[in-house]
Amino acid sequence: MVREVRKEETMKFIKKAEEFYNSALENYQKGRYNASIFDSSQAIILANDAFCIFNLGKRPSKDHREAIELHVRASFGKESKKEIISEALEKRSEFGYTERGGSEKEANLLLIRAKRFIDWVREKAKL
């Protein structure tokens, strides 16, 4: 269920996203690819929360479909990054909660996407 959040909280979510991104980068550098993928995914999810809060004053619950739907609504028919949100949610579940192990290539790709997505949200929210 969508939750109302004051727009002033946007920066807190961006800071958290950056903290998880930095953890993902450190885990990647140390060869901990599963942790890197999980942290990159979490960084994207938190940056999406910031995007939705900034534009709508709302953030999604833990429901994956809701996170994507709210992102699209927060885009107001303009540029959307819903495929990034969808991928992050899938990867978080896949590498965080199953036996599947992540590769260096997969970790690197999601790390790059997380950084770009955080930067995109900062630009859109003028942060």
User: What's residue 36's pLDDT?
Assistant: 97
Name which residue leads in pLDDT, 102 or 40: 40
Cα torsion through 106, 112, 113, 118, rounded to 10: 140
* pLDDT of 63 over the 80 cut: no
User: What's residue 1's pLDDT?
Assistant: 73
Name which residue leads in pLDDT, 34 or 4: 34
Domain range 3-125, its CATH number among 1.10.357.10, 1.20.120.330, 3.60.15.10, 2.40.40.20 = 1.20.120.330
Closest CA to 89 of 125, 22, 40, 19: 40
In the chain, domain spans = 3-125
Question: What integer best gives the mean pLDDT of the chain?
Answer: 91
Confidence of residue 74 (pLDDT cuts 50, 70, 90): very high
